[in-house]
Structure formats: C-alpha cells, structure tokens
Structure 1
Amino acid sequence: MAHRHRQRPPWGDGGRNNFTVLGVWLIEMDVAISHSRPYHPQTLGKEERFHRSLKAEALQGPPFENLQHAQSAFDGWRHLYNTRRPHDGLAGAVPLDRYRPSSRDFCETVPPFEYAAGDLLRKIQQKGATSLFGRAFKICNAFAGKVVAFRPTEIDGVFDVFFRHQKIQTIDLNEFQH
C-alpha cells in the first residue's frame, strides 16, 4: 500500500492565520513576515502584475513537452525578466540593477531562540492545536511541533501569540467558554 503524503495548502490554513511551512522557516531565519489584507487583491498589485507578465510572456503557446522543456522556458524568461526587460515600477531599470546581496550570511541550521522569562510557552500539536489555562484553540498547522509564546496584553485574558520574534495571533480567552 502506497503511503500518501498529505500536502499542506501553499497559502496557509486560510482564515486569519495564513502562515505556511516556508513562512515558519523564514521566521526561524529571523525574517519578518507580513500579509496583505484578506480579500483585497489590489494590495498585491506587484505580484498580480508579475503573474500577468509570466502568463503572457512564458506560458502562451503549445503545452510544454516535459518538465525539462518547461524549466528551460522558465529559466530563459527569468533571465529576460530580471536582466533585460525594463520595468515601469523601477523607472525603466531592470531588477538586476536594484539587486543587492544580503549582508547576512545564510545559516544552514535553525539558530536557537530564547523566549522572554515571563512568556507562557506551549508546543503546537498536529493540526495547529494547543491550549492555555484549560482552553483549547487552534493556532496554525504550519507551526505543528514548534514552541510559541503567549504574552499577556494590557487587557485581562487577552494574549498575543509569538513565534520567536513574530507576532502571529491574538487570543482572547474571554471569548472561549468552558
């Protein structure tokens, strides 16, 4: 019997917490993650424009014969897009003109992280489940197996949930009934 690996959605769990496994890894690498407002595609104009160019310039025509042919077409288009094609959003420059390598070295392993002394730490279970003070709730599937910190806010019963440096959610225990 073949083992089926269930893939996680590429855009997160949906709802108010759209973190992905990639996003969690980026946070572990000390990268801040931000999300646009849900159901507002106009806030993603640059990404929408990129996809429109990709479709018009690289995906038109007959279907690709195989994966190698598709990869070759994408590689050629990526080179053109980044090194030769002027971009209005860059005042006619190409992305390569603006590219600067990161000043940070890439780390092969996830660096250790210490939460603050007053943080309430919880390990996120499968399917993003955890509990605090006997109340169960869901954080996000992408954090399964990870430790998050609950930090009390100025409002009694309201906690900000952090994964490392990144605030990922606010939990109001007053909304949860026993």
Structure 2
Amino acid sequence: MPWDVKDTMNRREDFVCEAATQAVPFSELCRKFKITRQTGYKWLARHKSEGSKGLADRSRRPLHSPTRSPEHIEALVLDLRRQHGWGGRKIARRLRDLGQIEVPA
C-alpha cells in the first residue's frame, strides 16, 4: 500500500478548502491540521489576497539592512582575510592603520 504523501502546499490548500465550507468550527479545523488559529487566519488572508501563490513559504531575509557595511569595506575585509587568514580584531586594526574611518565591529 503506497504512502499518502502530501507536501506543505497541498496541506495548506486542503485547509483553505475545508475552512471555506465552514462544516466544522475553525478551532477544531486548526487542531485537525495541527496549526495555531493565528497561522490558520494568516493562511486564509494570504489565500484571499494572493490566491494559491500566497500559501507558499516566504523568505525571512530582511529587505533592508541599514547597518550593513559598505561594499568597498566588505571587499577589503574579505581580501585581508583571504590573504592572511586574520580574524576580526586584526583586520579591524589593519583597516585603521590603512586610514579607513568606517571600520566594522
């Protein structure tokens, strides 16, 4: 007998379809799918606004990093690490010795 294989997207679509029928209370439906009510409402809202594509996993990578080092500093750090194999403190000291004002921590 073959295994009943379901990926995450299929389970989320099943949840949305069952929630649309309103045959069972929402809390009970969430227990059946082993999710929190908050997650259930999130999936319903995404499905309503974006359709089936909204149920896909999203990246957690930030869209903006205000404290990120400038690219030229990053290149210098990587170059020094490749050349000498130094750690952070020694690289920071070398960058200060070279006259760099913006030195990463």
**Shorter-chain-normalised TM-score: which range?**
under 0.3
Q: Structure 2-normalised TM-score? A: 0.24
Q: Structure 1-normalised TM-score? A: 0.17
